Amino acid sequence: MKKLVLFTLALSCLSTYAFAKDVKVKSWCPMTHAVGFGKAPTFDAAKDAAIKACLSNGGMQGCCPKFYRQV
């Protein structure tokens, strides 16, 4: 019985991890009209990736980190 409970618990933990969706964030710069998207398991990591993408697409350091949202 203990083995069945442990197996069920391990299976539920693994299935939850396997089906976790990534967070997608958009960052944009209204001054240059540059846009960048980031996708990661956490909001903060996706936000950082979106800001880097916005900057690499011609955005300015003063506006890409200020304008972001989850999509």
Instruction: Please report whether residue 13 resides in a domain.
Output: no
Average pLDDT value over all residues in the chain: 88
pTM, full prediction? 0.72
What would the mean pLDDT of 1-25 be, rounded to a whole number?
A: 70
In a domain, 9, yes or no: no
- Can you give the pLDDT at residue 33? 97
For the chain, the domain total comes to: 1
In total, the chain counts a number of residues equal to 71
**Quick one: which of 25, 24, 33 has its CA closest to 60?**
33
User: Does residue 31 lie in a domain region?
Assistant: yes
Beta bridge partners of 68: 27
- List the domain range (segments joined by +) for residue 26: 20-70
Domain membership of residue 51 (yes or no) is yes
> Tokens standing for 30?
């209204």
Let me know if residue 32 belongs to a domain.
yes
